[in-house]
Amino acid sequence: MDIDFSIVLILFKPSVVAKAVERKLKECDYNVITVVGEFDKIKEMAESALLFVTYLPGDIADDQEEMEILDNIQEQLWYTSTNMLLIGEKKDRQRLMQHNHRLEHFAWLDRPLKMDELEQVVLNTIYTGGKKKILIVDDNPSFSKMVTEWIKDDYQVYSVTTGMDAITFLLKTPVDLILLDYEMPVVDGPQVFQMLRQEQSTKRIPVVFLTGVGTREGVERVMALKPDGYILKSTTRSSLLESIRDVITE
């Protein structure tokens, strides 16, 4: 099937609201391909699709068959460069993420829908280009800017300057990796790390510490917290990208 750089709207079943979503996307001048069933063809459609929008049925978390269909859709899209927006009931979101933590890395929009909000979220999700998302947490804006410049061609990059800003950001925006400064004022890296691991929505996000201390004792202190790795702030661009790829593709 020729997708012609369309938005692919995936429906488990037709509905009045799903039809309104389709109509709104067309009003925004997107070419919309609506798929009901034939979910095994999703992966081949990803090559030329701008975005997949999956309209989830209510109470999907209570239906094993529908959950298996969603798992199948996720699996087909996971290793492609195309992003997906999930539209579902707020009450189902946490159970879906607990069931399949990879779903945390796709965009989400709660129902009931506001069509203007749908338009903006679709734009933002397309803008990321399906790139993996990285959050830099560092109180030094100059360092964050340098790292952003180094990795922005390969990843969608966000940055905050305090640990509490990171927590607030992550509760609204899922990411694929957190680069976390070990030493920060007020709430330091280890404290932020502990909070992230205690929160259901963030506990599985890989965290790599950024540290300026390269001594054996310093590295052992960092790794004793069992993060997903550490990166010295004196690193080079190529080494940084290699370290990120090692974590983000595991």
Token pair listed for 103: 């779903």
Q: Would you state the structure tokens that stand for residue 126, as one six-digit string?
A: 């397309």
When pLDDT is averaged across residues 203-229 and rounded to a whole number, the result is 80
| Residue 187 CB neighbour total at 10 angstroms | 15
Which pLDDT belongs to residue 206? Answer: 92
Q: Mention the CATH class of domain 6-127.
A: alpha beta
For the chain, the structural domain boundaries read 6-127, 133-248
- The torsion of the CA quartet 24, 28, 29, 34, rounded to 10 degrees, works out to -30
pLDDT at residue 157 greater than cutoff 90: no
What integer pLDDT is reported at residue 183 of this predicted model? Answer: 84
pLDDT band per the 50, 70, 90 thresholds, residue 70: very high
The encoded tokens of residue 125 equal 């999700």
> How far apart (Å, rounded) are the C-alpha atoms in residues 206 and 1?
37
The tens digit of pLDDT for each residue in 15-37 reads 999 999 999 999 988 999 999 98
Query: Quick check: 81 pLDDT over 90?
Result: no
What the block records as the tokens of 197 is 């691991």
User: Given this model, what pLDDT does residue 215 score?
Assistant: 64
The overall average pLDDT reported for the chain is 86
3-state helix, strand, coil in the chain (%, to 5): 50, 20, 30
Beta carbons of 225 and 193 less than 8 angstroms apart:
yes
* DSSP 8-state secondary structure symbol assigned to residue 56: P
Tell whether the model's pLDDT for residue 82 goes beyond 60. yes
**39 with 10: CB under 8 angstroms?**
yes
| Cβ proximity of 30 and 50 under 8 Å | yes
Both structure tokens of 111 = 């129902």
Give yes or no for residue 130 having a pLDDT over 70.
Answer: no
Q: Which DSSP category does 113 fall into?
A: P
| Confidence at 2, pLDDT banded by 50, 70, 90 | very low
Q: What digits encode the pLDDT tens for the residues 97-125? A: 888 877 877 889 999 888 888 988 888 78
pLDDT of residue 129: 60
Q: Is 88 left (phi over 0), alpha (psi -120 to 50) or beta?
A: beta
* pTM exceeding 0.85: no
Could you report the per-residue pLDDT of 49-64, keeping only the tens digit for each?
889 999 999 889 999 9
* pLDDT at position 89: 93
pLDDT value, residue 249: 67
Largest CA distance in the chain: 62
**Strand ranges across the sheet with 6-11:** 32-36, 6-11, 49-55, 84-89, 107-111
Q: What is the pLDDT of residue 1?
A: 37
Superfamily of domain 133-248: Response regulator (3.40.50.2300)
pLDDT of residue 4 exceeding 80: no
Check whether 128 has a pLDDT greater than 80.
no
Lowest model confidence (mean pLDDT) among 152-156, 215-219, 227-231 = 215-219
User: How many Å apart are CA 78 and CA 105, to the nearest integer?
Assistant: 10
